[in-house]
Amino acid sequence: MSNPFRKHQIMAGLLALVVLAVAIFNRPDTRDGELHFDVKGDKAYVYGTTDSASAGAVDALIRENPQVDTLVLKYMPGTVDADQNLRLARSVRKNRLKTHLERNSRIASGAVDLFLAGTERTMDCGAQIGVHSWSIVGLETYQPRNDIYDARQRQQEGFLRDMGIDPAFYVFTRDAASPQELHILSPEEINQYNLLSEPLDC
């Protein structure tokens, strides 16, 4: 069955990103939400929101800083372009970068895909990972879990498989919170879906 919302997929999750995640995760050092990197030695600290111009950002980072082998995601509320965000995540894996969350890291929504793309994924106790369902701008009551066909499910599950993550994690995130809400993963949930290279013990 065709989905009338397919053409709006790039706007997935925008409502919750703007209304909720930015309010929770945005910090003064995020340059008004713009995606940017702060390189320190072999680590690049990552801040901000991804958008339609973000897909080549990691490739450019590595061209200019070939010593970087780890992305430390700090304050990242998500994405306003889900398709470009997945391309960015795949470039994280292509460049064989590790990902890490420090104890004060806060990531949500599309930023979780960037974290999961790491060849090695680690986090400190205290870091927060927020997930929710995607939605469509202007159709705030629409929730894909209530539809016969979820326009993003096959693509997201394929991405998770390629990253070595249990594809069931997608349905969990979709059902864990509505687009207007945010569910912070517990250590048990993080371990259940093998999101880290080594189990979290907090």
Residue 34 is predicted with a pLDDT of: 86
Tens-digit pLDDT profile for residues 168-202: 999 899 888 777 778 999 999 999 999 999 999 98
Give every CB contact of residue 185 below 8 A, 6+ residues apart in sequence. 128, 129, 130, 131, 195
Q: For residues 28 and 48, is the Cβ–Cβ distance under 8 A?
A: no
Residue 147 is predicted with a pLDDT of: 54
Q: Which residue has the higher pLDDT, 18 or 122?
A: 122
Residue 33 is predicted with a pLDDT of: 77
Give the CA distances from residue 87 to residues 54, 58, 156, 194, 199, in Å, rounded to whole numbers and listed in that order. Answer: 9, 10, 12, 22, 27
Tens-digit pLDDT profile for residues 102-143: 999 999 989 999 999 999 999 999 999 999 876 655 445 555
The yes-or-no verdict on residue 35 having pLDDT over 90 is yes
Tens-digit pLDDT profile for residues 54-65: 989 999 999 999
C-alpha to C-alpha distance for 130 and 160, rounded to whole angstroms? 17
Q: ∠103-106-111 over CA atoms, to 5°?
A: 130
The residues that bridge with 47 in the sheet, in sequence order, are 36, 75
On whether the pTM is more than 0.75, the answer is: yes
